[in-house]
Amino acid sequence: MNKKQPKLPKFANEDEERAFWATHSSIAYFDWNRAVVNPRFPNLKPSSEVISLRLPLSLLDTIKVEAHKRDIPYQSYIKAKLDEVFGRYPHH
């Protein structure tokens, strides 16, 4: 028997949505037999968070010089180097 699926509520933010899904099953809201197997989201921007990081001035100067050599912003250079070490930074 085909039950009508309830409408999803409108969520004010990700925390509200996360709390909703922690207590509800997606089976009631989606027909998973019709799901797209490998969806693509080309315009989705990865979440990021601003942090404060204290570095010795000499290290920051070295980072800025290396970034300048590569013609990229120093913060992008730091993220690229962290990605080399940890491999978790989303690639564009």
Task: Supply the pLDDT for residue 48.
Answer: 84
The answer to whether the pTM exceeds 0.95 is no
Residues 77/70, Cβ–Cβ less than 8 Å: yes
CA distance 42 to 16: 25
Domain assignment of residue 75, given as a range? 14-86
What SS3 state is found at 48?
coil
**How far is 64 from 70, CA to CA, in rounded Å?**
10
Assess if residue 9 is contained within a domain: no
92 domain residue, yes or no: no
List, for residues 56-84, the tens digit of each pLDDT value.
Answer: 999 999 999 999 999 999 999 999 999 88
Residue 80 covered by a domain: yes
Tell whether 46 is covered by a domain: yes
User: Is 7 within the bounds of a domain?
Assistant: no
22 assigned to some structural domain: yes
How many domains does the chain fold into? Answer: 1
Alpha-carbon gap, residue 33 to 5, rounded angstroms = 14
Q: Region 20-40: what's the mean pLDDT? A: 88
